[in-house]
Structure 1
């Protein structure tokens, strides 16, 4: 009898330990699909890293709005596992986002990707609320202006209302809210956005982040959002966490880092590895997901960039996903082609096929079999 009691006590203790270590979202009222996604991504990231592409379904290097088309699919006969979108323009009641994508079409693309089993992430290059300029207008005190009591606080709430209205229309076939990896205030330690390190204090950014989460979660009842904290180019853990709003306000930790033409590939690989060591250590400590939220090499001039640079940089780390930026095609403003993923005939396309076949890398077909929106 005593032995049975001891065994029962051990089972109970192990059960409590399991619950303590279980991955849970910061939103206690999160939809079942959002919670299932988050927990399944934790499991998947132990063995796999999903591949993502910004604006993949809307346009490519030489096309726009072609149903069922994707530069990625043209090469490997598969879609990305992660679809990136940006909602800049909603705050201005624009019909199209910052990259010219119709919000009506974006809504359908998001539904399509979700229906096939893909993951959706959304960023927001919203305008400077204080000056009226773009995201890149680094007029100081813009963040302070949107805080409670600030002169643009009501305007900012109005912007969040508009974002909530749009995201509330993102529904699955059964009327369920599509889970969204929401990445506001991205690259927040850079100096190029109005929410960057040169325009606001760490305390102001933290307060803005917390207000944003609280407002969307508590006031707008958005329970399908998974919040992604995002930095760039940090040297140590302290720098990464300087503007971190707290564990109860973040679900995913991530960073962005691009390779540039003048940069040696080994320098880039070492930089990514250094960042990932910091990122994955923090993710492990805090029981959060880790992601490489933006990367790429413009025009991918290296024929073996995918297996010779990106893969060596990420292969030894547990990452939920890695996403490359958009294929804008020819841009008159810069008078050149602007793209980060290969397309038919592009010099790195053959190597991308090799990258696709790597066991650890996951595209949509492989992901679909995992039923990531269902709890297990």
Structure 2
């Protein structure tokens, strides 16, 4: 009765004063994989505890390359600016399904494995996405020819091919071991931006039922292969309501973190639309997270080339506000794109116009980088 009363009070406060933004942790949090390794369970608990302190900062491909450099041991654009590494590192395993030596962004898988091991040794966290090819056409993930998802489900003409892809992913995940031979915990974010229509698994390219079946089959198969070092991240792009967000949700037993991606565009130079959109989405996701006992995150974010010198403290931090998110991850620092004839990066580098503001952002109590979460 006492617990029910507390929940009722919190519910009232959520509706009247924005108390949801101060809501910290959930004693009922538990991983969906009931056979998760001890290290994976410990990381999930740590992520939950850290939300009381602030949110983790992440960066895609941070150690592999940056603006005007590539594969320099120990280097990071974030470290060049702050003297510290990100807390979260993003990687992508697209290319693995076709036995490529390098991933979709040219990062050799052998280097990626070592980066993940180095990150783990320092106390950092790795998250992995998978822009895998359209299994029905053989084209890339952005080939949104409809009904590809249906073909990989049991009984579909590409089911065996898809299983072979999952076998390769299983081998990769199980190869990620620390110095003691223990599997390194990974935040796995498959079928990301699922509410958008640009990927073959996205909205309009398969039914909600097919997507749920695809998600469940993937997780069940990986666990069947002995993969128990993954924390599963459910991820959308834009959405307007709770119903939109959970339309394809596979169930509480198949997800551990719920998240969305959001980017600021050039038609929104002051960031007002971005702040409003992220705040609206966090309000919805936070409510779902409390209801379903899940951590929440902004799994991708950014403003290409960061032309606003005060973007970090003036826009991104305001967009997140006081919501207790687990992490925010900024996309990669590719640098000059010859084909598009423009710069493509989302985190500052030495000399970049927002560098000073990023240091101010780094120094905020609630932004957590690698030194803030380092193992004792």
| Mapped partners of 1:44, 1:298: distance in 2 | 28
Q: What is the aligned counterpart of 2:96 among 81, 90, 97? A: 90
Q: What is the aligned counterpart of 1:235 among 228, 231, 240? A: 240
Give 1:21 deviation, angstroms: 3.5
1:213-224 aligned within 5 A = 213-217=219-223, 219-224=224-229
| Mapped partners of 1:80, 1:315: distance in 2 | 20
Aligned twin of 2:257:
252
Q: Is the 8 A contact 2:191 2:235 kept in 1?
A: yes
Aligned twin of 1:308:
314
Give 1:240 deviation, angstroms: 0.2
Q: Is the 8 A contact 2:297 2:328 kept in 1?
A: yes
Q: TM-score if structure 1 supplies the norm length?
A: 0.92
Aligned twin of 1:108:
114
| Mapped partners of 2:122, 2:116: distance in 1 | 10
Aligned twin of 1:123:
129
Q: Is the 8 A contact 2:147 2:205 kept in 1?
A: yes
Question: Are residues 1:179 and 2:182 paired?
Answer: no
Q: Is the 8 A contact 2:279 2:321 kept in 1?
A: no
Question: Are residues 1:141 and 2:147 paired?
Answer: yes
- Structure 2: gaps of 5 or more residues: 3-25
Q: Computing the radius of gyration over CA atoms, which structure comes out larger, 1 or 2?
A: 1
| Mapped partners of 1:65, 1:53: distance in 2 | 16
| Mapped partners of 1:89, 1:352: distance in 2 | 33
| Mapped partners of 1:157, 1:96: distance in 2 | 21
1:1-376 aligned within 5 A = 21-217=27-223, 219-263=224-268, 264-369=270-375
Deviations 1:47-86 (A, max 9, x none): 3100000000000011000001000000000000000000
Deviations 1:145-193 (A, max 9, x none): 0111111111111000001111111111100000010000000010100
Deviations 1:273-323 (A, max 9, x none): 001011111111111110100000000000000000000111310100000
SS at match of 1:133: coil
SS at match of 2:263: coil
- Structure 1: gaps of 5 or more residues: 1-9, 11-19, 372-376
Q: Is the 8 A contact 2:185 2:231 kept in 1?
A: yes
Provide the aligned length of Structure 1 versus Structure 2. 351
Deviations 1:70-114 (A, max 9, x none): 000000000000000000000000000000000000000000011
| Mapped partners of 2:53, 2:340: distance in 1 | 40
Give 1:233 deviation, angstroms: 0.8
